[in-house]
Structure 1
Amino acid sequence: MESYLTLSEYNAQGFERIEDQDHFDKLLSKASAVLDNTTRRFYVFEELESDYPYRKEAFKKALGCQIEYFLETGELTTESLNNSPQNVAIGSTSISNTSKFNAAGKNESKSIISDDIYIYLEGTGLLSRGVC
């Protein structure tokens, strides 16, 4: 399968610059899987480069957003994103990482999907959940 995005295309989008091709390929592989799942594998069955320019560019920008999300969080899995302790005590100092949204104080799980991808994908038809 051909890559959805090249390193030079990613760097041209204005996100955090990546120089190492191997590191980019690892991020791209996971980001592609996330977006394929989110878009019901649209580009697994359709050719990205021959699609409408608007939708193709929106998908590539969403992919760049997802890669940058991985760079910012430093994590590539849901487990690693959510594997931080809720309470830490060092000597007589205690730090609690409770939620402001949950009455029980338990943290919500973070999603592996960047919320920012929806900025680019909404209105493209790629988020449609209807029957084809």
Structure 2
Amino acid sequence: MAYLTFEEYGEFKYTEMTEEEFNRLIGKASDFMDSQTRNFYQFKNIELDIPFRRDKFKRALALQVEYMYQSDATSSYDVNTPQTWSIGRTNVSEASRYSNTGRNEAPSILSDDALLALSGTGLLYRGLGGIN
């Protein structure tokens, strides 16, 4: 389920993209946000929710779409590029931004910015009970 329209995405003034590019990404981005929020908006009408939580969720979703667009990745497979590769006698090694030791650690398909936008909303709560 897509929770954000192309017009709403444009209001955030993030990276510009065509409506076709946005439509290609919004479904998967919504799925990723559903996973992080324990499907909160599968059970609640997003438009009837309190504005603070609804608007932060939509901002997080816009950030996730932007991240997927910029990284040209729609899955964890796409985002995990090798850190070391060889062609003939040429070897290329890239340092990891996830580890100061250079160990091969997998980056996430989830945008850190999107998760930060969700902090303080209760949507990332992992305890028993849940939020209303």
TM-score by length of 2: 0.86
Gaps of 5+ in 2: none
Alignment partner for residue 126 of structure 2, among 121, 125, 129?
129
Task: Name the structure 1 match of 2:116.
Answer: 119
Per the alignment, in what secondary structure is the counterpart of residue 49 of structure 1? helix
Q: CA deviation at 1:130?
A: 1.5
Task: Name the structure 1 match of 2:50.
Answer: 52
Alignment partner for residue 25 of structure 1, among 17, 23, 31?
23
2:83–2:95 Cα contact (<8 Å) kept: no
Gaps of 5+ in 1: none
Task: Name the structure 2 match of 1:95.
Answer: 92
Task: Name the structure 2 match of 1:67.
Answer: 65
Distance 1:98 1:23 in 2: 30
Distance 1:109 1:44 in 2: 29
Are positions 1:108 and 2:120 aligned together? no
Q: CA deviation at 1:66?
A: 0.2
Q: CA deviation at 1:85?
A: 5.1
RMSD: 1.9
Q: What percentage of aligned pairs have identical amino acids? A: 38
2:84–2:91 Cα contact (<8 Å) kept: no
Per the alignment, in what secondary structure is the counterpart of residue 48 of structure 2? coil
